[in-house]
Amino acid sequence: MACSIAEVMAAIGDRWGLLIMRDLLLGLTRYDDLRRSTGVTNVTLADRLKTLEQSGLIERRQYQTRPDRYEYVPTEKGRDLALLMQAMVQIGDKWRDAAHEGAPLRFIDAETGHGLKLVLLDAETASFPARQSTVEAGPAGDELMRWRVAQGAKERARRSQLRPDEAIGVPDPGRP
């Protein structure tokens, strides 16, 4: 099928694949953290991680031997999904607002602290300066969302101390 949407959906797989990618893009990397965050069964999580790896969206890296333990990090192709995630957050927040519920997650400009949102631009004439962004739990973020954000921040900090060839950075959702 000649459809870009179908191509992305085929790579992600299903709802679980999308939720796992959400957590990976937030910075979670360990199997147990992914399991806790999503509530997915072990069988489903293992299957979706394998699918995401085969699709080229994530890379499995060994971080411990005896016993062997692995972490999962988004590849460049996987980091491209940050834009999709941000769009979904923005739409979900609009729907939640209509139901008088708050935002569980916010995309923030790391320099100014201001919220970020996606907008349509003329592809030929518009440009945005590249800036760093981050995420924070929103006003309606529950305990699990606050944990995801905090745990992801710890993992991003840990990876930032690795050699550049060992770490995959956190995507800038505002960068195309």
Does residue 156 fall inside a structural domain?
Answer: yes
Judge whether 169 lies within some domain. no
Residue range(s) defining the domain that contains residue 107: 4-160
Could you write out the three-class secondary structure of the chain? CCCHHHHHHHHHCCHHHHHHHHHHHHCCCEHHHHHHHHCCCHHHHHHHHHHHHHCCCEEEEEEECCCCEEEEEECHHHHCHHHHHHHHHHHHHHHHHHCCCCCCEEEEECCCCCECCCCCCCCCCCCCCCCCEEEEECCCCCHHHHHHHHHHHHHHHHHHCCCCCCCCCCCCCCCC
176, 164 contact by CB (below 8 A):
no
Q: pLDDT value at position 94?
A: 93
- The CA distance from 132 to 113, in Å, is 11
Per-residue pLDDT, 123: 77
Residue 171 included in any domain:
no
pLDDT of residue 173: 43
The pLDDT score that the predictor gives to residue 169 is 41
For the chain (176 residues), the mean pLDDT of every run of 10, in chain order, is: 88 96 96 97 98 98 93 96 94 92 90 88 72 82 90 87 51 42
For residue 166, the model assigns a pLDDT of: 47
Nearest to 44 by CA among 74, 14, 22: 14
Domain count, the chain: 1
Residue 137 has φ and ψ, to the nearest 5°, of -65, 135
The pLDDT assigned to 140 comes to 87
pLDDT given at position 126: 75
In a domain, 172, yes or no: no
pLDDT for res 130? 62
Per-residue model confidence (pLDDT) at position 133: 76
Decide if 141 is inside a domain: yes
Q: What is the CATH number of the domain that holds 63?
A: 1.10.10.10
